[in-house]
Chain A
């Protein structure tokens, strides 16, 4: 616990061996720098690149393939030892398998590195400078070189370069939002005001900004030892949970690997017990593994995810971790910040009250006019006060920018008023110039008003105009009259009552209300030479004329209500978590629809029924506004109860630490939680969340580091488009996987039948690899471009326990139905090729041993002809090619049926997704090249194929399509039926 805020200046000097006037000596500073290290947050520990790379080498199916490769090498070793004739086939296969693993590993590593790089560019910061006193001289130094004991000077606009104990201040205010989330500037002084170093006014914290004023202070903490640094290191302590898609892919890998290993082992046992040699059995095992493992799939998934990530980046969601793409889609709760995310993050005039009437102002982002009635003379008077009693000014050189986008020097309320009057009246600076200011009392917290006295631009009127604004009740106290329709009327109790009602009403909307009054000073008493003195206040400040009220709010972004209602229909609960006052929070929640118009909180019900809050039946309230103070005393059960029982929740006045508690509470409900945040203090919650979303504009680097995603435009609506993309990719990955798994059966069946029926091998291991990593890759990526089948934003988020990426139905339908159909089609081609060359199916059964014997070179076919080994081999490769071509042809049908899971292809449109056609053409093109172009390269085991064999499987391809259309028809016709339950994946 630091005690520095309690120490006097002298004690401080002593403690840090420094001097307020002279600062540290350069030598001493260098010593301390060497001891403490640079004043910078140490970046989160990165996994070494080599570890990342090795992880890719052993992840997923790689282990299985390594086993296959090692088996190949072992068997080739045995063969070499036995002096067999072609021992290098297996050696070569092992090398190919190893290459496949290494290449896919490199690919995955490259993909990951690419997406990490996008983020790396983000975290590069412009080096910060600090004004330091050293060796009794003022120096500009990089903030990194600050050490404890340095004396630094800060001024408005600066970022605080370290934790600083203030010793001299002048109207200093800091924005602690990066620390606490509250964007209201806080004043700083040299006084010790609170026991808690976080609350006391004489400490300014690293990474916060000084909004106005100047200050000088002693650096008391640097780098990771600052308050922010400690929070940031806390965040790195929060473990990274596995993303939902990672869990799904793992589940899928286990499933496929399980199938591969169990079939492999089963057939190993079968082949051993069928008296095959152990060596042959091992070779069968390799074949089964290779056939079963979709080698290209994980790469395809990565590509699909990165395609979606690119698409999302275009929509302002920058994804840091590829898997987060899908996480967003499965999100069921979004815990959103208010300021900046749901709102525009700027004060804007929302309502006016004059002539006893409330007017609404336009609060949209790009207002150019104001629609309310501006004919009343009262408005003319009010607008004058608003314009003149204001110290804010536009920064120069922005005449061409829209008013709302211009940068203003001044606090939030004054900025709002300046822009408001600029929109309505035009050139405010000109008006101010024509109404020359002669005296001014700025706002201070004791007066709670701001006052200025002006000459008027009316040449006939020599009177001075006194204008005043401030807290409404304080302003009203100073008034004796009130302006109604341009006429001053005495302020009687009835009118005061009307004021009260309006004030309460506007306050109840969560708006900040200001009162405005004026007084024309009598010309006789105040001639134009009158010396106004603001210290002695030699002018009247009471019995003024009340003109009106203006209320301001940080209004919601115009796209947010729509986005919130989209979330609602998508079954996503939006919870607002804010440091703001409950009333403001609730008002914004209501205006964006987080609390819907019809629902009530317990307090609302109590008010409506006029009963105490305790008597309200809590079940009736659908909405809840929870105050941070209440949250502090809650047990986790109570929090769970609130999260469970209310569909619309707002957490107000919450501290960043409580955000973490809320996230954990949501996760206890089994929800996939997305959290938005910008401050450093949000980083633990961002890390804890299933998907942390940092703000690109307002967000701090720590927040961006902890987040999985960065919203480039800070807009809540962008999250919703991200959700949509995430859901789409989940659906499309399902299609990709279904597509890829199907042909695995058509690759596996040949091996099984080869072992059991002892026919010549229908398809080789290398050929399988050419399907998995050749013809099938582009089509399966093409499915990522598929449009949604129905409005995916109208269904509930997926239940991460039940709605698996690869469910039983998907596996069974792909493996046992379409896959088997494909196998049948391919086998027909296979038998056709053999029969037309002289080997009728009946001859083929049981010939394996003789067929493969190198010594038999007069193998007799069904017609009495005799074949040498090589002639048989060549025929076998023709068989491979035919089998390969048949699978490819049927995969085209498979690709087309996978476009939809429920709708007919005709509903989806065959040509809407052009990339599918690229896929189909590439598939056929690659097959043509392999068959006819590379047909003479012996090692690849392809041979040129008679053209008609390309069409043998076509009827089966058509059958697959028709069958799947029927399946989808029944699913649509009979929802909930036995068919639907078993056939819909």
Chain B
């Protein structure tokens, strides 16, 4: 009995102590930006849709069921880019870092879906999958305070040349500097990260083959894309296999 009581008190005390120290620690943190950001100095790249089974796309262009999931994922992902959701967003000056350090409420720049052209889902509800020209959106990971230098753009290449033609939206895969920097979830609630759509036109003789596409961020000296260990830092590779 006494033993139980002792441990009740003992662990109660420890729990209280733990809670207290955690509380003290959390008090020292800002709710706007993390104390340190040295572990993510350069952003990673990611794509949408993201298949469950690693980064591999398998679909049959004549079978709507085989790509339905990709389409719905894209649709869902682009919902927040819908014009109706972007009413508070402002039009920023293209090509320039949009610095808002002095402003209390950070504005988000508008990203027009139309920039994604054929991959916007407006004309082609299947994002090209039904036509054998599937769209994949490439996005740059959000990092608070990141200001890319130069003219960052996304460039994708099939591993074996000539297996697919690649189209970029916006043209040349440019990422506009006005979307940077990001100020964090709390201050920058409506922030939309810039997207680059990559449309693949698979050569008819390369169907049924697995094509590896490698995308990289280029044109910006402070965005790394060749880290030995991190295969997603400023780059991404995915596979795609289309049947008819």
CA distance A7 to B191 in the complex (A): 118
Q: Please tell me if A627 contacts chain B, counting CB pairs below 8 Å.
A: no
Which single member of A835, A855, A878 contacts B26 (CB below 8 Å)?
A: A835
**Are B21 and A863 in contact, with the CB atoms below 8 A?**
no
* Partner pick for A855 among B35, B37, B55, B143, CB 8 A cutoff: B55
Q: Given known contacts A855-B50, A855-B54, is B185 in contact with A864 (CB within 8 Å)?
A: yes
Are B36 and A870 in contact, with the CB atoms below 8 A? Answer: no
Q: CA separation between A874 and B22, bound complex, in Å?
A: 23
Closest A residue to B55 by CB, please name it.
A855
Asked whether A97 is an interface residue with its Cβ less than 8 Å from the other chain, the reply is: no
0/1 interface trace, chain A 827-860, chain B, CB 8 Å (1 if under): 1100110011110110000000000001111101
Query: Can you list 9 A-B pairs, Cβ within 8 angstroms, ordered by A?
Result: A831-B25, A841-B26, A857-B45, A857-B141, A863-B32, A863-B34, A865-B141, A866-B142, A875-B39
A residues contacting B by CB (< 8 A) are 816-817, 820-821, 824, 827-828, 831-832, 835-838, 840-841, 854-858, 860-871, 874-875, 878, 938, 946, 955, 959, 978, 982
Asked if B141 and A836 sit within 8 Å, CB to CB, the answer is no
The answer on a CB contact under 8 Å between A840 and B40 is no
Q: Tell which of B10-18, B64-72, B94-102, B208-216 binds the partner.
A: B10-18
Give A858 to B117 CA distance when docked, in angstroms. 24
Within the complex, the shortest CB–CB distance from B81 to chain A, in Å, comes to: 16
Please tell me if the beta carbons of B185 and A838 are within 8 angstroms of each other in the complex. no
- Note all chain B residues with C-beta closer than 8 A to A938: 229
Contacts A858-B44, A866-B141, A868-B232 known; 11 new A-B pairs at CB < 8 A: A827-B18, A831-B25, A836-B29, A837-B36, A864-B186, A864-B191, A865-B142, A865-B143, A870-B229, A959-B17, A982-B6
- Are A821 and B14 in contact, with the CB atoms below 8 A? yes
B232 touching A835, Cβ below 8 Å: no
Pairwise interchain contact A863-B39, C-beta atoms closer than 8 A = no
Q: Does B110 contact A (CB under 8 A)?
A: no
Report A-chain residues with C-beta under 8 Å of the C-beta of B232. 857, 868-870
The chain B residue sitting closest to A869, CB to CB, is B232
What distance in Å separates the Cβ of A18 from its nearest Cβ neighbour in chain B? 82
* Contact call B22/A857, Cβ cutoff below 8 A: no
- Given that A836-B29, A837-B39, A855-B55 are contacting pairs, would A870 and B14 also be in contact in the complex, using a CB cutoff of 8 Å? no
- B: residues with CB less than 8 A from A are 2-3, 6-7, 10-11, 14, 17-18, 21-22, 25-26, 29, 32-37, 39-40, 43-46, 50, 52, 54-55, 139, 141-144, 182, 184-186, 188, 191, 227, 229-233, 236
Contact among B25, B37, B45 with A828 in the assembled complex (CB-CB below 8 Å): B25
Closest A residue by C-beta to B52: A855
- List of A residues within 8 angstroms of B6 by Cβ: 982
Task: Give the complex CA separation of A832 and B29 in angstroms.
Answer: 10
Q: Is B230 in contact with A870, judged by CB distance below 8 angstroms? A: yes
CB distance from B183 to the nearest CB of A (A): 9
Among A824, A840, A863, A868, contact of B44 (Cβ-Cβ < 8 Å): A868
> CA of A868 to CA of B142 in the docked complex: distance in angstroms?
11
CB proximity of A328 to chain B, nearest CB, Å: 36
Inter-subunit contact A863/B40 (CB<8 Å): no
Q: Are A865 and B22 interface neighbours, CB within 8 A? A: no
Q: Are B141 and A861 in contact (CB under 8 A)?
A: no
Give the residues in chain B near A870, CB-CB below 8 Å: 227, 229-233
In the bound assembly, the distance between CA atoms of A482 and B23 in angstroms comes to 104
User: Does B18 lie within 8 Å of A835, measured CB to CB?
Assistant: no
Within 8 Å CB of A946, what residues of B?
36
What chain B residues lie within 8 Å of A862 (beta carbons)? 34, 185
* Chain B residue nearest in CB terms to A827: B18
| Least CB distance, A549 to chain B, in whole angstroms | 73
B180 to chain A, nearest CB (A): 13
- Distance A431 CA – B191 CA, assembled complex (angstroms): 121
Query: Is there an interface contact between A838 and B37, defined as CB atoms closer than 8 Å?
Result: yes
Q: State the CA gap A840–B10 with chains docked (Å).
A: 27
Q: Decide: A820 near B14, CB < 8 A? Known: A857-B46, A864-B188, A870-B231.
A: yes
Q: How far does the Cβ of A882 sit from chain B's closest Cβ, in whole Å?
A: 13
Shortest Cβ distance from residue A745 to the other chain B in the assembled complex, whole angstroms? 13
State A868–B227 Cα separation when bound (angstroms): 12
Residues of chain A contacted by B18 (CB below 8 angstroms): 824, 827-828
A865 to chain B: which residues have CB within 8 Å? 34, 37, 40, 141-144, 182, 184
Given A858-B139, A864-B185, A871-B40, A837-B229 contact (CB < 8 Å): no
Q: Which residue of chain A lies nearest to B29 when distances are taken between CB atoms in the complex? A: A835
B46 touches A841 (CB 8 A): no
What residues on A are CB-neighbors of B182 within 8 Å?
A: 864-865
Q: Is the CB of B230 within 8 A of A868?
A: yes
**Chain A hits for B141, CB < 8 A:** 857-858, 865-868
Which of chain A's residues has its CB closest to B188's CB?
A: A864
Whether B22 pairs with A828 at a CB distance below 8 angstroms is yes
Q: Are A817 and B21 in contact (CB under 8 A)?
A: no
Within the assembled complex, what's the spacing in Å between the Cα atoms of A856 and B141? 11
Complex CA–CA separation, A821 to B15 (angstroms)? 10
Minimal beta-carbon separation of B220 from chain A (angstroms): 17
- Quote the shortest CB–CB distance from A458 to chain B (angstroms): 93
Residue of B33, B39, B54 touching A871 (CB-CB under 8 A): B39
CB of A396 to closest CB in B, whole Å: 78
Chain A residues contacting B10 (CB-CB under 8 Å) are: 817
CA distance in complex: A959, B40 (Å) = 35
